[in-house]
Amino acid sequence: MPTPSENTLFGMGNPLLDISAVVDKDFLDKYGLQPNGVILAEDKHKELFDELVQRNKVEYHAGGSTQNSVKIAQWMLQKPHKVATFFGCIGTDRFGEILKKKADEAHVDAHYYQQNEEPTGTCAACITGDNRSLVANLAAANCYKKEKHLDLDSNWELVEKAKVYYIAGFFLTVSPESIFKVAKHASDNNKIFGLNLSAPFISQFFKEPLMKVMPYVDILFGNETEAATFAKELGFGTDDIAEIAKKTQNLPKENTKRQRIVVFTQGKDDTVATVGEKVTMFPVLDIDQNDIVDTNGAGDAFVGGFLSALVQEHSLEECIRAGHYAANVIIRRVGCTFPEKPDFH
């Protein structure tokens, strides 16, 4: 199998600093949060961040969905360093410096667009039991500008160097034009472009840009809730996950040289994937409930593991196995963190 070279994997998204703490139901109720929700912060959530930091033992982790995934892909690969490139926008502040340092420690080739209008974005992970409610305050992450960063020759050269591209659907709320440019480049050059449904609100409120990029998507990721919402928004008329995967695979596609692959995870239940004309179930690794520390980042980790096998040109089955391994490691730890080396064969 080929060893991937530097900048083979390209990711672009919202770099956020995760602020995670264990809270109680009263805290969730006070801010109108679902135990397993994913939302963008509104004005009513401004105090939430302050309260979280003041009242609880807080952990800070470099986060943001796409950044998590490319970091885990790099961790799974180990060598060479900087197989993964990452673009996103941060502020000129302490949190921004932490993100730079963390990306560096993870050996990811991060090229941030830095601006001083908005502070670095944060994501509150409010943990109750084995649930986590995420509230993202995008701030700087929302300020990514195609013409100020992606279009610069030195940056676009890094895009051209890549063979595999991955962007979480969350970035559709920030810079759809950047996503289109990268997705079209991948499609025109028969390279692989992956996208994640990311959260139900993306299919609900950002359906137009989502469907505009869909013809360029070679691999679509999502979980069972996101898949169900996507199916509802598109009027598939079914809540059977295998059928949703099949219908999604058959949506219009630009590059007909590659059949679209659809991969839906379902927590502890089997992962559903389209394999050629069939839909196949892949059981996840067994884990004792008591060993689950924090499910935050499990989906990102799955994608990271998957991508690490994909850039080595492994089979779909192997990519899913690597994804299951990475997710199994991550849920035993707080935040999207990992041990020094993977133990994956």
Total structural domains within the chain? 1
Distances (CA, A) of 323 to 146, 186, 201, 316: 31, 23, 24, 10
Does 187 fall in a domain?
yes
Does 344 fall in a domain?
no
Mean pLDDT of 93-121: 94
Does 37 fall in a domain?
no
CATH number at residue 187: 3.40.1190.20
Distances (CA, A) of 149 to 13, 47, 144, 153, 154: 13, 32, 8, 9, 9
Residues, the chain: 345
Q: Which amino acid is at 301?
A: A
Does 48 fall in a domain?
no
pLDDT tens for each residue of 165-176: 999 999 999 999
Looking at the chain, the whole-number percentage of residues with pLDDT higher than 70 is 99
C-alpha Rg value of the chain to the nearest Å: 19
Flag whether pLDDT at 124 surpasses 90.
yes
Does 26 fall in a domain?
no
| Per-residue model confidence (pLDDT) at position 288 | 86
Q: Are 238 and 230 in contact (CB under 8 A)?
A: no
Pairwise CA distance, residues 94 & 82, whole Å? 24
pLDDT tens for each residue of 255-280: 999 999 999 999 999 999 999 999 99
Taking the CA atoms of 195, 344, 78 and 141 in sequence, report the sign of the dihedral they define: positive
Full domain range(s) for residue 90: 9-16+63-119+138-331
Flag whether pLDDT at 227 surpasses 80.
yes
Does 98 fall in a domain?
yes
Flag whether pLDDT at 295 surpasses 80.
no
Distances (CA, A) of 270 to 34, 139, 167, 284, 289: 24, 36, 24, 6, 16
* Residue in 18, 109, 218, 300 annotated catalytic: 300
- Active-site residue flag, 300: yes
Flag whether pLDDT at 335 surpasses 80.
no
The structure's pTM equals 0.93
Does 43 fall in a domain?
no
Tokens found for residue 152: 């610069």
Does 87 fall in a domain?
yes
